Amino acid sequence: MFFLDLLELDRVLRQLKSMYGSIDESLRGWNWSNDVLSPPLEGVYLGVSELANRYCSTYRDVYLKRVLSKPAPFSYKTVRGWIYHTVCKRVVEKAKSMLYHEGIVNGHRLYSSLLIDRRDIIDKVLEEYRVPSYLKEYEIEKLKREAEALYSFLALQAAARLDRVLSRISRPDLESVISKVIPVDVERIVNGQLLGLSSELKIDMFADKRIVIEIKTGDIRDFHKYAVTGYALAVESDLDIPIDYGIVSYISLKEENVKIRNKIYFIGDELRREFLEIRDEAFNVIRRGIDPGKPPECPEYCVYYGVCI
Ligand code: SF4
């Protein structure tokens, strides 16, 4: 997903747009001052993920975090998410900087260069997140192997993409090669405060200044579509550019084999309204300050499961 072929992607996005049509301008993030978009509470700013990750239908997670200031405990899955995200970021950044540094090389050379200090990079990432303080020894070893496998997989994708781009250009220049091989900004920060969202929202990947990409490292959940919707609205409110598409990219590893599954969304009126309803309900829970209670059934994968049950 990080080494996209924008032409191929463009075809898919056009199809989506022809199916869903246009977007009501009053639901664009830059119209943040209207009744639907303006936040119901002043001075409270929420993260997109705490709204979008709707494990809990009664919003007890919001109550626990925002009213009782009780953060969700860290699990293996939480730590794994941090590490996978950071590995993706490192490979993209490193591929970009190597191309700037070494100039136009072929895919094989890029791949070899990316792999040279792979182990050191992974060790530093684990250190940066103080992984030994959260996980047991055998979990750390497993995570390390997975992180290395993910790193190598992404390095190979970068190299293959570079070769494909070079094979199509007769007189390549460095800037255009890099923009075609790696057309994404990693961890782009946007300010969502005009919509009641955090001032430093981190978008995993921002492609071609028109697509927000969210990386997920767990199971596929329907509510993940609200994460890209929230980021799209925030980009529109902060940067005044229209965002019609979002991609949720699911990364998983099975016996060190990497699987990537992408779900592409047209961020139309319905998704926008649904995200804003979630935001408003979360604000209501905070304003009331009363425990909303548990839903009839709590999913075991809820991050607060060990706290509520
Ligand atoms: S464990 Fe149940 S009540 Fe608690 S936050 Fe999760 S879904 Fe809600």
Summarize pLDDT for 53-74 with one digit per residue, the tens: 999 999 999 999 999 999 999 8
CATH of domain 6-71+184-290+298-308: 3.90.320
pLDDT of residue 1: 61
Nearest CA to ligand 1 atom 1: 305
Nearest CA to ligand 1 atom 2: 298
Average pLDDT over residues 10-35: 86
Residues of the chain with CATH 3.90.320: 6-71+184-290+298-308
pLDDT tens readout for residues 142-200: 999 999 999 999 999 999 999 999 998 888 889 999 988 888 888 899 999 999 999 99
Maximum distance among all Cα pairs of the chain, rounded to whole angstroms: 66
Cα(292) to centroid(ligand 1), Å: 10
Of 65, 68, 23, 36, the C-alpha closest to 279 is 36
pLDDT of residue 20: 73
pLDDT of residue 8: 72
Residues with CB under 6 A from ligand 1: 55-56, 60-61, 294-295, 298, 302, 304-305, 308
Cα(62) to centroid(ligand 1), Å: 10
